[in-house]
A and B are shown apart, each in its own frame.
Chain A
Amino acid sequence: EAQLVESGGGLIQPGGSLRLSCAASGFKVSSNYMTWVRQAPGEGLEWVSIIYSAGDTYYADAVKGRFTISRDNSVNTVYLQMTSLKVEDTALYYCAKGYTFAYDSFDTWGQGTLVTVSS
């Protein structure tokens, strides 16, 4: 069974940096497209970034130039390096696995890790 466990969230001051981790089990991150989606408190879902099996990466305009998605196949983990954090980046960050039978859907989600950007 595919599972994802996020970690690395916390309280950080504006302008600071944080690295989120998403440890996968039951499948290989290198063989799937993997994404980060965030949800501000009481708000909807917002797509953040994606990494495809070939290694190409893409970002939402709101985080482009500040966030970097990567993966380490040896530990089956996907990362989100976040820099120059802003108050509006405060959210629960979910990692999700691409659904094998779909072009752009996500069938396995972690429980999320909370990032709070505040002075």
Chain B
Amino acid sequence: QSALTQPRSVSGSPGQSVTISCTGTSSDIGRFNYVSWYQQHPGKAPKLMIYDVTKRPSGVPDRFSGSKSGNEASLTISGLQADDEADYFCSSYAGSYTRVFGTGTKVTVL
């Protein structure tokens, strides 16, 4: 199972919006609506930010939103804040009870 493809890095100024792409195949993202996004600060465990493509767990700000089109999913962070600076990983269910993670994207707040 190959990792989902994400840009290595994205950046934006405070208050701006950034979008992270996550490209998979017709066997994972394209086939299932089970895409999740995780935020990971340095030295910390991942934190669930988005599940089922567009849903946010309780406590996650609505500045974070997810979407999907075809084999590509996206995470948009609006109103960028300093604490949003972190690594972000997508994941997708890939059938047969397996899942695959993305390569990860470093978000830098300028």
Q: A94-B45, A110-B45, A111-B45 are in contact. Are A44 and B103 (CB under 8 A)?
A: yes
Interface majority SS (helix, strand, loop, mixed), chain B:
strand
Q: A103-B34, A107-B57 are in contact. Are A44 and B104 (CB under 8 A)?
A: yes
- Counting contact residues on chain B (CB < 8 A from A), the size range is 20 to 34
B101 contact from A45, A58, A112, Cβ within 8 A: A45
In the docked arrangement, what's the CA distance between A104 and B37, Å?
Answer: 11
B104 close to A47 (CB less than 8 A): no
B89 close to A104 (CB less than 8 A): no
Interface residues of B in 51-98 (CB under 8 A from A): 51-52, 55, 57, 89, 91, 93, 96-98
In the docked arrangement, what's the CA distance between A52 and B99, Å?
Answer: 14
List residues of chain B with CB under 8 Å of any chain A CB: 1, 3, 34, 36, 38, 45-48, 51-52, 55, 57, 89, 91, 93, 96-104
| Further contacts, 14 of them, CB under 8 A, given A104-B36, A105-B51 | A44-B3, A45-B89, A45-B101, A58-B97, A61-B1, A94-B46, A101-B55, A102-B34, A102-B52, A104-B93, A104-B99, A109-B45, A111-B45, A112-B45
List residues of chain A with CB under 8 Å of any chain B CB: 37, 44-47, 50, 52, 56, 58, 60-61, 94, 96, 99, 101-107, 109-112
Interchain residue pairs with CB less than 8 A apart (30): A37-B101, A44-B3, A44-B101, A44-B104, A45-B46, A45-B89, A45-B91, A45-B101, A45-B104, A46-B3, A47-B91, A47-B100, A60-B1, A99-B57, A101-B51, A101-B55, A102-B34, A102-B52, A102-B55, A103-B93, A104-B34, A104-B36, A104-B93, A105-B36, A105-B48, A105-B52, A105-B91, A106-B36, A109-B45, A110-B45
